[in-house]
Amino acid sequence: MISSDEQRRMQRKHIFIVNGDPHFLELLRELFQDERYNVTTTNFVPETFDQIEALKPELIIIDLVIGEQAGWELLAQLQDDAVTAKIPVLVTSTNDEYLHIATSNQERYGVDAYVSKPMDIEALLDHVHGLVGQP
């Protein structure tokens, strides 16, 4: 039998975060777990798309890193798949030009919102709540 705590955990909205910085991933994991979301984090690895496809999270947060193509490739791959294209995507970056490119090419990247780094935590939470609701 499943405990009531486990049932509540299973009903929480799920956020999948992709970022190459393990310290940043841990900060976001703690933030969203404190907000009562289920959280999966990963750095840029070849299996990321397969993980997202299998887990079907309610939101994906991807960091666009200067000089790396992995975030862009993942955005395009998510948009090209009928199942994952429906999942809201929020991108982050220290590079405002990357954020502009990602959000202005909706057909190619499917980005729903962005937050510039360094981040305003309240703005990040507002975007997340707007995209998937509060837990």
Spatial distance between the Cα atoms of 70 and 64, rounded to a whole number of angstroms? 8
3 occurs within a structural domain: no
Spatial distance between the Cα atoms of 92 and 75, rounded to a whole number of angstroms? 12
Model pTM score: 0.90
Count of domains forming the chain: 1
Backbone Cα Rg of the chain = 14
Spatial distance between the Cα atoms of 59 and 39, rounded to a whole number of angstroms? 10
8 occurs within a structural domain: no
pLDDT per position in the chain (135 positions), as tens? 655 555 555 579 999 999 989 999 999 999 999 999 999 999 877 889 999 999 999 999 999 987 788 899 999 999 999 999 999 999 999 999 999 999 999 899 999 999 999 999 999 999 999 999 987
88 occurs within a structural domain: yes
Spatial distance between the Cα atoms of 109 and 76, rounded to a whole number of angstroms? 5
82 occurs within a structural domain: yes
Q: Which domain holds residue 36?
A: 13-132
45 occurs within a structural domain: yes
Give the CATH number, domain containing residue 95: 3.40.50.2300
